């Protein structure tokens, strides 16, 4: 068993084109570090020095991890983590 991480189109160059990759860890932070060990650069697209990047949405199953515990959110085998770039912009 593992944790599935679903990858959006724009980040698939980092996963060899794969739509989903697998990883392990007890928290989202550990999971992203584990996945980054095989798909270098992925973590940096999702996380910066202050935590999860503002314009990336990360979901644990059906919840936005911002409403859970951010990078500290507990994850377990069988969970699905979905990454979606925020759709945002505007005249400002």
Partner 1 sequence: MQPKGIPRGRALAPPVTITAMLRISRALIDQVVAHARADHPDEACGVIAGPAGSDRPERFIPMVNAERSPTFYRFDSMEQLAVWRELDDRDEEPVVIYHSHTATEAYPSRTDVSYASEPEAHYLLVSTREPDETEIRSYRIIDGVVTEEDVEIGEALSAAQE
Residues that bind partner 1 (CB under 8 A): 8-10, 55, 57, 59, 62, 64, 66, 82, 84-92
Give the nearest distance from C-beta 46 to partner 1 in angstroms.
Answer: 12
Residue 90 backbone phi and psi in degrees, to 5? 135, 170
Give the nearest distance from C-beta 51 to partner 1 in angstroms.
Answer: 16
Give the nearest distance from C-beta 64 to partner 1 in angstroms.
Answer: 5
Nearest residue (CB) to partner 1, 18 versus 86: 86
Nearest residue (CB) to partner 1, 24 versus 85: 85
The CB-side HSE value for 58 (13 A sphere, CA atoms) comes to: 26
- Distance from C-alpha of 14 to C-alpha of 61, rounded to nearest angstrom: 22
């Amino acid at each position: 068993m593992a944790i599935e991480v679903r990858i959006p189109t724009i980040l698939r160059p980092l996963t060899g084109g794969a739509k989903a990759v697998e990883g392990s860890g007890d928290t989202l932070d550990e999971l992203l570090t584990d996945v980054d060990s095989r798909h270098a650069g992925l973590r940096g697209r999702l996380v910066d020095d202050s935590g999860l990047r503002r314009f990336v949405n990360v979901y644990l199953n059906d919840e936005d991890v911002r409403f859970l515990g951010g990078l500290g959110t507990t994850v377990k085998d069988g969970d699905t983590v979905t990454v979606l770039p925020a759709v945002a912009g505007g005249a400002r």
